Amino acid sequence: MKVSRIRLVLPAAILAIVSSTAGRAQNTDTAGFSQQALQSKIEYCKTCHGVSGQGFHGSTPIPRLAGQQPQYIENQLKAFIQRRRTNKYMYSVAHVLNPAMQAALAQHFSGLNPKPLGGAPKELVAAGKKIYEEGVPDAQVPPCASCHGPAAKGDGEFPRLAGQLHDYIFNKLVNWSSERGQDAANPDASAIMQPIAHNLTKAQITAVAAYLNYLE
Amino acid sequence: MNAQMMKFFRSKIVVLALVASTVPSLAGSIEPAKFRNCAWCHGESAEGYGPAPRLATQRYQYIENQLLSFRDHTRDNPFSKQYMWGAAANLSPPTMRELAIYLSALPPRAADDGDKELAAKGRALYEDGNPASNIVSCAVCHGPNAEGIRDIPRLGGLSYYYLKRKLEQWGEGYHTTAHAPMPLIASKLSSGEIEVLASYLSFVK
């Protein structure tokens, strides 16, 4: 009696296990999106940000995402959605992403490692390196390396700068206070950079950007 | 001055006037003789005609790349194959550059042949894309006024019919120059989205 019951139950149990795992691969998982949706979204991001996330010089410089700190990417996506950071293209892109998708995208891009696009004026690299490593004491600008790391790889919410597009860096630093921290009621970490971006001259920004442009 | 001399000069002036009137007036630029062959289809002022797109005011790097891709047969849609492969076959790179630079300097004129009612929707799609269906904003690469930059082409003012066909063809699997992302992007567009985009862009000055 007991043996025959097990005989009946076992095939049914196997069937249930197999069909449930097969089903999970196709259906939406607990995060709220399917693998297919994630792949499509990654491909969509790469249309502008480059096939390996290396960035692209479009009608405006589109930043490198490859090797970026995942925490930083997630923070920026949230900042775009909440309009603390203003960019009309990225608002449109970001506001349809749920938090789980944001995290998955951030993880994907942080794992990429193509060569930097380069292209910045090479003669400025030495001056840029000096600013990156020593700061500009006369202007109360600390060394960038102290937060962004000696190799500009970033750390947690401090972004990686290595290999970033030079004109993107220039635009962001010059426009810092008009693009970041735009919700006075909700100040965010971008406030740290505000005095630094303000105190650096355009020539210094151009030099630092050139140095970072070639870092791998 | 006697009457015979007057008659002599008058006849020469008439001839000169006749000859001069056949040359289209282009502000300051001299038409290279090589352009005559292009003008048959693309128009005397390179404004385009039928399936032949407007070349006036297009990015010169883009024109050069297209001429190379016609010669290499990478760009393979039916009209390209039928007309442009032959047209570009004997062009040397310096000639391609000369033509491209000449064309890029010609004055623009919008085709204005789209559907005006669809233009507003087209503009919204052009600027914001459609993130829910993973269609990127066109403006990010082609510029806020569809003017293009470097080798990314100007789209503003191109004919509705030309733009529509190109977007459809990329969805059908025809190729463009290497590294261009357009086939991947265009294949996501619905036919309604192609209609509104092509209409909007045909009006952009």
Query: What CATH number is attached to the domain comprising A120?
Result: 1.10.760.10
* 27-56 in chain A: CB under 8 A from chain B: 40-41, 43-44, 47-48, 56
Q: Which residue has the tokens 């942080």?
A: A110
Q: How confident is the model at residue B19 (pLDDT cuts 50, 70, 90)?
A: low
Kindly state whether residue A165 falls inside one of the protein's structural domains: yes
Domain boundaries, chain B: 116-203
Rg for chain A, CA atoms, rounded: 23
Q: Mind telling me how many Å the CA of A120 is from chain B's nearest CA?
A: 17
Percentage of chain A lying above the pLDDT 70 cut = 86
Kindly state whether residue A150 falls inside one of the protein's structural domains: yes
Q: Is A195 helix (H, G, I), strand (E, B) or coil?
A: helix
Q: How confident is the model at residue A23 (pLDDT cuts 50, 70, 90)?
A: very low
Two structure tokens written together for A205? 């920004």
B182 vs A: CB within 8 A = no
Kindly state whether residue A4 falls inside one of the protein's structural domains: no
Integer Cα distance of A133 and B107 in angstroms = 50
Two structure tokens written together for B184? 């991947």
A77 vs B: CB within 8 A = no
Kindly state whether residue A94 falls inside one of the protein's structural domains: yes
Q: According to the model, what pLDDT value does residue B34 have?
A: 81
Does the structure show a pLDDT above 90 at A9? Answer: no
Q: Which residue has the higher pLDDT, B62 or A16?
A: B62
Q: According to the model, what pLDDT value does residue B7 have?
A: 75
Q: According to the model, what pLDDT value does residue A194 have?
A: 95
Domain boundaries B116-203, CATH class: mainly alpha
CB pairs under 8 A between A and B: 48
Does the structure show a pLDDT above 50 at B25? Answer: no
Dihedral through CA A62, CA A68, CA A71, CA A77, nearest 10? Answer: 10
Q: Among B141, B145, B188, which would you mutate to test the A interface (most chain A Cβ atoms within 10 Å of its Cβ)?
A: B141
Stated as kind and residue range, the H or E segment containing B9 is helix B3-22
Contact A57, A153 (CB under 8 A): no
B151 vs A: CB within 8 A = no
Q: Mind telling me how many Å the CA of A66 is from chain B's nearest CA?
A: 19
Contact B99, B123 (CB under 8 A): no
Average pLDDT of chain B? 88
Does the structure show a pLDDT above 50 at B26? Answer: no
- Could you tell me the residue range of the domain that residue A58 belongs to? 35-214
Integer Cα distance of A137 and A126 in angstroms = 18
Chain centre distance of CA B199:
16
Q: According to the model, what pLDDT value does residue B17 have?
A: 58
Does the structure show a pLDDT above 50 at A27? Answer: no
Integer Cα distance of B190 and B167 in angstroms = 10
Q: According to the model, what pLDDT value does residue A25 have?
A: 45
> Averaged over B91-111, what is the pLDDT?
92
B143/A59 CB distance under 8 A: yes
Measured between beta carbons, the chain B residues lying within 8 angstroms of A89 are 128-129, 137, 139-140
Does the structure show a pLDDT above 90 at A200? Answer: yes
B169 phi/psi in degrees, rounded to 5: -65, -40
Two structure tokens written together for B168? 């459809």
The total domain count for chain A is 1
Flag whether the pTM goes above 0.95. no
What is the bridge-based pairing of β-strands A56-57 and A61-62? antiparallel
Kindly state whether residue A170 falls inside one of the protein's structural domains: yes
Two structure tokens written together for B107? 């004055």
A115 vs B: CB within 8 A = no
Q: Among A36, A39, A42, A44, which would you mutate to test the B interface (most chain B Cβ atoms within 10 Å of its Cβ)?
A: A44
Kindly state whether residue A98 falls inside one of the protein's structural domains: yes
Stated as kind and residue range, the H or E segment containing A92 is helix A88-94
Does the structure show a pLDDT above 70 at A11? Answer: no
> Averaged over A51-62, what is the pLDDT?
95
Q: Mind telling me how many Å the CA of B37 is from chain A's nearest CA?
A: 33
Q: Which residue has the tokens 């009309």?
A: A88
Contact B173, B181 (CB under 8 A): no
Measured between beta carbons, the chain B residues lying within 8 angstroms of A77 are none
Q: According to the model, what pLDDT value does residue A183 have?
A: 94
Q: Residue A142: how many CB atoms within 10 A of its CB?
A: 13
Does the structure show a pLDDT above 90 at A48? Answer: yes
Q: How confident is the model at residue B177 (pLDDT cuts 50, 70, 90)?
A: confident
> Averaged over B169-193, what is the pLDDT?
89
Q: Mind telling me how many Å the CA of A90 is from chain B's nearest CA?
A: 9
Kindly state the DSSP code that residue B84 receives in the 8-state scheme: I
Q: Residue A33: how many CB atoms within 10 A of its CB?
A: 16
Q: According to the model, what pLDDT value does residue A60 have?
A: 93
B128/A89 CB distance under 8 A: yes
Stated as kind and residue range, the H or E segment containing B95 is helix B93-104
Q: Which residues contact A150 (CB under 8 A, 6 or more apart)?
A: A133
Q: Which residues contact A56 (CB under 8 A, 6 or more apart)?
A: A48, A49, A50, A62, B141
Contact A199, A131 (CB under 8 A): no
A58/B152 CB distance under 8 A: yes
